[in-house]
Amino acid sequence: MDVRPAGPDPAAASFSQAAARVSPVSKVGEVRPLASAPVGADSVSTLLKELTPPDIGKLLQVLEPLPPVESAALLETVLRAGQAHEVAAVLSAFQKLASLDPQLVGKLPARPELQFMRPQLEHLLRQLETVGKLSADEKLVLAVQLVEAMSVKKLPGWDAAPQTLLRVGHSLVEAGGLGNYAKAQDFTQVLIDAIRFLPVADYSRLPSGGGRASGPRTRTALNALSGRNVWLIIVLLAVLTVVTALFFSR
């Protein structure tokens, strides 16, 4: 790709605008950087120097996704139910919207239509953030384990080193907030999927050992272990939401 030396790169400028919207908020727990992918005090400008325009373009697909078409209808449902003080309907639509557009959900508790139950929504948002951070951390751990075990120097389709790309995921987790946790999950999953395109012979380097067939089995086991705890917490949150709805609808 031809990169002109003079003038700002459009992709870099767009990435800077997207990264500027990844603003720090109150964190849910402390993020502990992994040894192989330290976050340190990396700034957006430092990361930009290590990313090529094609890499920035791929990253933008995660940082600036198109809003789901269902988001507008769910937002209207939440606000209309809030005006009618329908607690159960608000909680139900709020959770659905959180899974579709987590960046938008973080701003909802401050809306005038929802002030009557703002503490409950903020509590639910913190619970969702806890689950989101746990899932993002687990995906990052899995990605680091795969990169280290297979001595990955370059991922298919990416120019930057895997450690640089993992720092992007850690930076999103450090920023905090449901939207950033979701972006960290999505971006890390992209990296994990890229590792799956490596030659099958490389899977013999995984810690479990074995032959060519050991890699996919190990990878499946790691994915199953990563998702089990998250789904258990999601089920518990659903139960708590129902109990809360029943309590406030009395």
Q: For residue 62, what are its two tokens?
A: 């995660």
Query: For residues 9 and 48, what is the distance between their CA atoms, to the nearest angstrom?
Result: 11
User: pLDDT digits over 127-153, tens only?
Assistant: 999 999 999 999 999 999 999 888 888
Q: Of all residues in the chain, what percent carry a pLDDT higher than 90?
A: 44
pLDDT score for 24:
41
pLDDT (0 to 100) of residue 29: 33
| CA dist., res. 39 & res. 45, Å (int) | 14
Position 199 scores a pLDDT of: 72
Angle at 105 between CA 99 and CA 106, to 5 degrees: 125
Low-confidence ranges of the chain (pLDDT < 70): 1-45, 200-250
DSSP string, 65-79: PPPPTHHHHHHHHHH
Which pTM was predicted?
0.67
pLDDT at 14: 46
CB 182 within 8 A of CB 190: no
Q: What are phi and psi of 35, to 5 degrees?
A: -60, -35
Task: At 247, list the tokens.
Answer: 């309590």
Q: In which residue are the tokens 């993020």 written? A: 31
pLDDT, one tens digit per residue, over 34-45 is: 333 333 334 556
What pLDDT, on the 0 to 100 scale, is given for residue 165? 92
Which residues, at least 6 apart from 205, have a Cβ–Cβ distance to it below 8 Å? 149, 150, 151
What is the pLDDT at residue 230?
52
Q: Kindly state the DSSP code that residue 106 receives in the 8-state scheme.
A: T
